Structure 1
Amino acid sequence: MTRLLPHPILTPVLAVIWLLLNNSFDTGQILLGLIFGWAIPVLTIHFWPEAVSIRKPIVLLRYLAVLLFDIIVANFTVARLILGNPDKLQPIFVKLPLDLTSDLAISLLANSITLTPGTLSAKLSDDQGHLLVHALNETDPDTLVATIKQRYENPLKEIFESC
């Protein structure tokens, strides 16, 4: 079964992304989206270093809702900062110590940080012990670290790693 459908969650996600990119929900586009959603994971199965195991799907849905909310709020915040007085911005680099061990979870954390406007994951240490994060406007690095850990890292650990 895993050879025919290696990533059952990725297939519908790719199909929905296809439909959104085409801005069409015609039968042909739905069928094409499902074909792409099935073919891409099948053709790329050898590139996946580990099997994806979602331990808590409800936590994943909550995580996605929090991430989407943070992206929307951060867009308005960054727009206000840039359009307001950009000379008063206080950019900072922060070392975020990682509790995650899974490559997938670390990658998702780094991407989540980068997707949220105003923050950017800049570099993963060679030992994967910390992530260098750039913030556009931050006065308290400890608060930034605590927020990222609480809102992103802890749920990812619950979702993808055994606690």
Structure 2
Amino acid sequence: MVSRTRFDDDACPVARSVDAIGDWWSLLIVRDAFDGSRRFGEFQRSLGVAKNILTARLRTLVAGGVLESVPASDGSAYREYALTPKGRSLFPVIVALRQWGEQNCFSPGESHSQLLDVRQGRPLRPLEVLSADGRPLTPDDTAVHKVSAD
């Protein structure tokens, strides 16, 4: 088996983020958690993933502080998975991937899911990257700056 390259010591935040949650199963588990899935069986039914793969990804997400294992909400002996604050902070990432997919991965008129604002029942406004003063930014308006350790 080929060993996976690790980026947990990389100076780039994107590389470390990919190392933490960049596997497609992990992102889909997080997506399903935002959609209300909490139990192993719910994740497995939604994703159609093998039990051993799902078990490994859930363990990694728990170890990384993205999910936590909690007592079942119905009081049974089962355990459930809940997003931690760290996991909930992935919401803009999931929304950005969803919006990118809606725009770039479907033919006109092709069926797909859509994220709605529950209060208004309408689709979300497209995410934008904004400057500190509120200006919309493009890649040409940004530069990577290395931050030194103190």
Shorter-chain TM-score: which interval? under 0.3
TM-score by length of 2: 0.26
**Relative contact order higher in (CA < 8 Å, ≥ 6 apart):** 1
Q: Which has the higher helix share?
A: 1
